[in-house]
Amino acid sequence: MSFEREEPNYYGAGPALLPTDVLQQAALDLINYQNLGLGVGEISHRSKQAVSIVDETKVNLTRLLAIPDTHEVFFMQGGGTSGFSSSAANLMAAYAKRTGKKGKAAYAVTGTWSKKAYEEALRLGFEAEAVVDVKKQNGKFGDIPPTSEWKPVNSDYAYLYYCDNETVNGIEFQQVPEAYAAGVEIVADMSSNFLSRKIDVSQYGLILAGAQKNVGLAGLSIYIIKKNLLEQAGDEELKQLGVPLSPIAFHYPTVVQNNSAYNTIPIFTLHIINLVLKKLLAQGGLAVQEATNGRKAAALYSVLDSYPQLFKLPVATGVRSKMNIVFTIEGEGNEDEFLKLSGARGLTGLKGHRSVGGMRASLYNAVTEKSVQSLVDFTKEFAESRK
Amino acid sequence: MSFEREEPNYYGAGPALLPTDVLQQAALDLINYQNLGLGVGEISHRSKQAVSIVDETKVNLTRLLAIPDTHEVFFMQGGGTSGFSSSAANLMAAYAKRTGKKGKAAYAVTGTWSKKAYEEALRLGFEAEAVVDVKKQNGKFGDIPPTSEWKPVNSDYAYLYYCDNETVNGIEFQQVPEAYAAGVEIVADMSSNFLSRKIDVSQYGLILAGAQKNVGLAGLSIYIIKKNLLEQAGDEELKQLGVPLSPIAFHYPTVVQNNSAYNTIPIFTLHIINLVLKKLLAQGGLAVQEATNGRKAAALYSVLDSYPQLFKLPVATGVRSKMNIVFTIEGEGNEDEFLKLSGARGLTGLKGHRSVGGMRASLYNAVTEKSVQSLVDFTKEFAESRK
């Protein structure tokens, strides 16, 4: 039995790589946590050890992101899909409390995930509008039009929802649409670029992030919410207004009142998140991580851009994702060959999402610069061999 | 760094003990699964390794429970709370498909968890009725009146919901209320006694079970559903009938169509479940486990019953749980003393649920007969010392 492994060169989109030392610590703690004689997944979610994992994780996240007092952190089971479903019900309930009215929701549809979120809001019976729908306009996802071209929003809108980084399509917002959404709460899905760079939390009504890219295993999501959005209309009032309710496990005020343990929190999964946060803090925080991620993405984009006949990048330069680098390869059989040769060199997880094809290299926090350099070297060699 | 631990004597109610060898295997697989060079929590949920964990787990569960072809197994994130919320929406949608009508739901309220499920159905806007409410009738939970005393159900009811084992209260159904519910689908929450004994799956419309007691870590639940209940009315029809919809991540037909990976399935957590199932099969299956659990519970109840002046059992003899043994101790300070002395001997997790007080010994599958014997011995000594 061995705890060791070679450092993987893995670029999967999620579930994704985690730091080896975090996994090693987690493996030990799975069997015997803090010398309790019990694993961290076996202790009661109300034990002092479990509560302290919840509290510590909140503190570490608050430090990393400089979360202001106006905002609250909580955790819930599920991933992005539960996240966007629940955000609709909860933000609408907060709007009903503030205004006594049923609100509308605005969705910026810039990729696969924001499209799903928009469709779910409609499906659940919320009044939702796509203030921009890039695929409808351009025939494909690949750019983010300036907000001056989006349908304007006003105080009838409970929130503006957007996906900060579209994992499938490799599109990342370069700035928060704050001026556009003046007076409207901003909800951002940061599942695939959370903690990849510094952000100004005060700009957001709600940030939601599935753990399984930059911060942990699948199964748990992180929420950062403006505290006043926890003031929600009561169930009966919502029913009268025709606003659908959130299941109780996803009712944010209930979750917050119970310190994220209304539902039994998957404490092993949260423990891993906490270990990742501690590592990020020890490495100098998000400024350092942001610089590293910038260099990683620049290195790979640079080699791809150097061979424009061979590599095609479907995403407009200004909105390229630093996390998910999407490209196709010209020439019959070249994509298969790229996957085969890179795989033979131990570079894996490069196949694009089944809905869009091509290649996708996900350079999340746990992917080291060294690993990116291996990919860059390979990509260059591959391109040279195709000349 | 060490993988070893002494066998814990832990009787917590959940999250609960898991077999040490399962945790040891899982710890290795967390770092490097099947020599992939990647941990099982890092691989894509669409990789062949992940799909094969899903498929194997289904096969092993089908073997263990002899699940007939009429039923389908699937997994979803969340625990009991997501389970009961989602069962209401899905069973009502199936009823609407069958009848074109909005149905009613019947709840047998026999303890804390069935009460929560009933309240959630009402809260979400379903028409729900408590066909029996033991606390309302008797002033406390502690018995299950015969079904002849329950309010009768008929074909207007979409389903009868009951909680097969009430974890907080230590009350377990000894038989399925099948005759009572003739013509009505039976939904059973088996979160805390799942796989503790043989059951006849064909009797149920839906079985739901959070993993965190007998089968795994918190964060994942197992569902076994009658296939025809996956035929549901469409969203628009449900809206017209006034039947609230389930969030898409908890829409059973969608989950089943996607082989439990519509939402990214927490594959590490599922892997642990599969390891537990394999172990149960290797040990001879549920007949063996049922016999073992019977002996364990009998041993502890027997010593408690031997000192009726000291130990009080709030649950009627006929409905005592084999999983969660609840008792109080007479005499000023005796409960604190019991906890203190047992703790000093390494017997832990015995404190009762904060809502009911007293003691609770949870004797789930992973609690060995040897460990139960240690508890029995201690309990006897304690009682003798109080004579």
Chain B residues with CB under 8 Å of A28 CB are 1-3, 27
Asked if the bond preceding A177 is cis, omega within 30° of 0, the reply is no
First to last CA, chain B: 46
How far apart CA B85 and CA A78 sit, in angstroms, is 15
Q: What is the mean pLDDT of residues A242-247?
A: 96
Q: Is B243 exposed, middle or buried (0-12, 13-18, 19+ CB in 10 A)?
A: buried
Chain B residues with CB under 8 Å of A349 CB are 44
Averaged pLDDT score across all residues of chain A? 96
Would you place residue B346 in the very low, low, confident or very high pLDDT band (cuts 50, 70, 90)? very high
What is the per-residue pLDDT across B35-71, written as a single tens digit (0 to 9) for each? 999 999 999 988 999 999 999 999 999 999 999 999 9
- Does the structure show a pLDDT above 90 at B262? no
What is the per-residue pLDDT across A110-169, written as a single tens digit (0 to 9) for each? 999 999 999 999 999 999 999 999 999 999 999 999 999 999 999 999 999 999 999 999
How far apart CA B82 and CA B302 sit, in angstroms, is 36
The token pair that represents B9 in the structure block: 């004597």
The token pair that represents B294 in the structure block: 């019977």
Query: Could you list the active site residues of A?
Result: 113, 189, 213
Cα dist. A65→A19, A176, A270, A281 in Å?
A: 20, 16, 17, 10
Put simply, whether B218 touches A (Cβ < 8 Å) is: yes
* Residue that has been written with the tokens 């620049």 in this structure: A298
Q: Residue B313: its pLDDT value, please?
A: 97
**Start-end of H helices in B32-168:** 48-65, 80-99, 112-124, 134-138
The three state secondary structure string of B31-57 is: HCCCCCCCCCCCCCCCCHHHHHHHHHH
What is the per-residue pLDDT across B173-231, written as a single tens digit (0 to 9) for each? 999 999 999 999 999 999 999 999 999 999 999 999 999 999 999 999 999 999 999 99
B266 DSSP assignment: -
* Residue that has been written with the tokens 């299956």 in this structure: B285
How far apart CA B347 and CA A248 sit, in angstroms, is 35
Mind telling me how many Å the CA of B232 is from chain A's nearest CA? Answer: 15
Whether B143 sits among the annotated catalytic residues: the reply is: no
Half-sphere exposure of B242 (CA within 13 A, CB side): 10
How far apart CA B133 and CA B282 sit, in angstroms, is 41
Q: Which CATH number fits domain A286-385: 3.40.50.10420, 3.90.1150.10, 3.40.47.40, 3.30.70.1140?
A: 3.90.1150.10
Q: Residue A178: its pLDDT value, please?
A: 94
Sign, CA dihedral B234-B51-B266-A141, equals: negative
- How many Å is the Cα radius of gyration of chain A? 21
Q: What is the mean pLDDT of residues A69-94?
A: 96
Bridge partner residues of B224 (DSSP): B73, B207
Give which of B256, B282, B375 is closest to B325, Cα–Cα. Answer: B375
Put simply, whether B10 touches A (Cβ < 8 Å) is: yes
Chain A residues with CB under 8 Å of B245 CB are 123-125, 244
Between B78, B217, B264, which is nearest A15 by CB? Answer: B264
How far apart CA A67 and CA B288 sit, in angstroms, is 53
Q: Residue A225: its pLDDT value, please?
A: 98
What is the per-residue pLDDT across B264-275, written as a single tens digit (0 to 9) for each? 899 999 999 999
Q: How many CB atoms lie within 10 A of CB B236?
A: 9
In chain A, where are the structural domains located?
Answer: 31-281, 286-385
Helix (H, G, I), strand (E, B) or coil at B358: coil
- Chain A (310-369) residues lying within 8 Å, Cβ to Cβ, of chain B: 346, 348-349, 354
How far apart CA B360 and CA B323 sit, in angstroms, is 10
Chain A residue closest in CA terms to B18: A42
Q: Which amino acid is at A108?
A: A
Cα dist. A5→A22, A149, A214, A378, B383 in Å?
A: 13, 50, 20, 22, 52
First to last CA, chain A: 46
B198 DSSP assignment: -
Q: What is the mean pLDDT of residues A269-294?
A: 98
- Does the structure show a pLDDT above 90 at A354? no
The catalytic residue among B189, B226, B296, B322 is B189
| Backbone phi and psi for residue B184, each to the nearest 5 degrees, phi listed first | -115, 135
What is the per-residue pLDDT across B2-20, written as a single tens digit (0 to 9) for each? 688 999 999 999 899 999 9
The catalytic residue among B104, B115, B116, B213 is B213
Q: Residue A320: its pLDDT value, please?
A: 98
The interface pTM score, or ipTM, of the predicted complex is: 0.97
Would you place residue B263 in the very low, low, confident or very high pLDDT band (cuts 50, 70, 90)? confident
The token pair that represents A180 in the structure block: 């556009």
Chain A residues with CB under 8 Å of B128 CB are none
Between B23, B264, B269, which is nearest A79 by CB? Answer: B264
Bridge partner residues of B105 (DSSP): B128, B159
The reply to whether domains B31-281 and B286-385 share a CATH topology is no
| Backbone phi and psi for residue B202, each to the nearest 5 degrees, phi listed first | -65, -15
Q: Which amino acid is at A156?
A: D
How far apart CA B50 and CA B28 sit, in angstroms, is 16
**DSSP H helix total and E strand total for chain B:** 11, 14
Q: What is the mean pLDDT of residues B336-364?
A: 96
% of residues, chain B, pLDDT over 70 = 99
Cα dist. B209→A129, B75, B112, B144 in Å?
A: 38, 10, 16, 21
What is the per-residue pLDDT across B80-89, written as a single tens digit (0 to 9) for each? 999 999 999 9
Topology of the domain covering A31-281: Aspartate Aminotransferase; domain 2 (3.40.640)
Put simply, whether B268 touches A (Cβ < 8 Å) is: yes
Q: Residue B1: its pLDDT value, please?
A: 52
Put simply, whether A19 touches B (Cβ < 8 Å) is: no
Bridge partner residues of A129 (DSSP): A106
Interface test with B, best of A7, A24, A33, A38 (most B CBs within 10 A): A38
